[in-house]
Amino acid sequence: MIKNLNTLFVTMLFLGKIKIIPGTFGSLATIVILYFFFHVLNISSNLILICLIIIFVISFFAVANYIQNTENKDPKEVVIDEFIGQSIPVYLYEISHGTEKSSNEAIIFYCICFILFRFFDIIKPFPVSFFDKNYKNSFGVIMDDVCAGFYVVLSLICFMVLSNYFI
């Protein structure tokens, strides 16, 4: 029973079991879920943050349990790490500037976050590659996606700063 719940959690309800590009589907599901929470249900950003932190902490144990008896220490079906990494830029966007975000603006921004996150998650620039190569455990599985999420944030900040000089 516990093993089945753990599998449901790390595969995001078996979304990770999709044969083709499971990480992309995990990231896409994340932006849909967060859009729904922020813009349809209007859930408090503080409550969402608490949930994200809980998912982050639980994921270390869940992923460690899932990969415990496998040779592959970063199986493709584990997509909870994509959820965590993709959540970082989306959440920071939603709490930024202290202003109300329109649904149309959010959709555009979520799409940009999705594309950039997948780019950094696939290309794996340092330190994403460092965690991916050097930590063959739940820490490495999760932290490479956390770094990719922060690369998205850094890229968007750089774009905003540079656009102020050229626009």
| pLDDT of the residue at 49 | 97
Give the residue from 43, 48, 98, 112 showing the smallest Cα distance to 120: 112
What pLDDT, on the 0 to 100 scale, is given for residue 71? 77
> What are the DSSP E strand ranges found in 56-159?
none
Q: Rounded CA gap, 74 and 127, in Å?
A: 17
> What does the pLDDT read at residue 161?
86
Instruction: Determine the pLDDT at residue 98.
Output: 65
Would you state the pLDDT for residue 162? Answer: 86
pLDDT in 10s for each residue of the chain, 167 residues: 778 899 999 999 999 999 999 999 999 999 999 999 999 999 999 999 999 999 999 999 999 999 887 777 778 899 999 999 999 999 999 998 666 778 888 999 999 999 999 999 999 889 888 888 888 888 989 999 999 999 999 999 999 888 888 76
**Domain residue ranges of the chain, discontinuous segments joined by +:** 2-166
pTM of the model: 0.90
Supply the pLDDT for residue 103.
81
Per-residue tokens: 83: 């959820």
Closest CA to 149 of 40, 2, 125: 125
Q: What residues contact residue 90 under an 8 Å CB cut-off, 6+ apart?
A: 30, 31, 34, 109, 110, 113
Distances (CA, A) of 117 to 62, 130, 148, 151: 23, 17, 6, 8
Of 94, 81, 92, residue with least CA distance to 146: 81
